[in-house]
Amino acid sequence: MILYRDWAKSAAENATQLAIESRLLERHGHMPRAYYLCHMSIEESSKSLLLSASFQSGVQASQLSKIMALLRDHKKKISFVVQLARDTSSVLAESLKGKEAELVGHMNNLKNDTMYVSASADGGVTTPEQKVNSVQVKDHIQFAERMAELAKAMSAVC
């Protein structure tokens, strides 16, 4: 279905733009939002790769609502990236063994934590800056840039 191809290409371009904007924020010291945008870039790359695969495998128009539901699910897009990493590296596969679901939940929570101030039951308040302190944002941005390149390459093959 042509829609999948066109959607994949547009999603890959959007992933690239999100990665660029993330890098700009990181260079100016805005780490929580830099992380958030690179995370969204990775999800958008995931979407593009799934759409490219849908196009290349001939998924029918009658499946569009299922495809759309899949692509709205943030955890499924994160899970796809984790599976891709696991399937392309034996070292990652070994270190991820049995931890995939925990990692997906952690990544989704970190994405949310970099956007919102939260409070705990004991009265503590945590800011996005505090949550992102332990994250190597530059590494995540580099990964987002590579995923966007992969998404662009795969959508160009369609």
Q: With both helix axes pointing from N to C terminus, report the angle between 74-88 and 100-113 in degrees, rounded to the nearest 10.
A: 130
pLDDT per position as a tens digit, 10-20: 999 999 999 99
Q: At what angle do helices 2-27 and 31-56 cross, to 10 degrees?
A: 160
> What pLDDT is stored for residue 39 in this prediction?
97
pLDDT of residue 124: 94
What is the number of domains present in the chain? Answer: 1
Q: Quote the CA–CA distance of 43 and 39 in Å, as a whole number.
A: 6
At 133 the pLDDT is 87
Give the pLDDT score at 152: 97
Q: Tokens 């995540």 belong to which residue?
A: 140
Residue 146 belongs to domain spanning: 2-157
Dist. CA 35–CA 20, nearest whole Å: 12
**Position 65, amino acid:** S
Query: Are the beta carbons of 125 and 118 closer than 8 angstroms?
Result: yes
Residues of the chain with pLDDT under 50: none
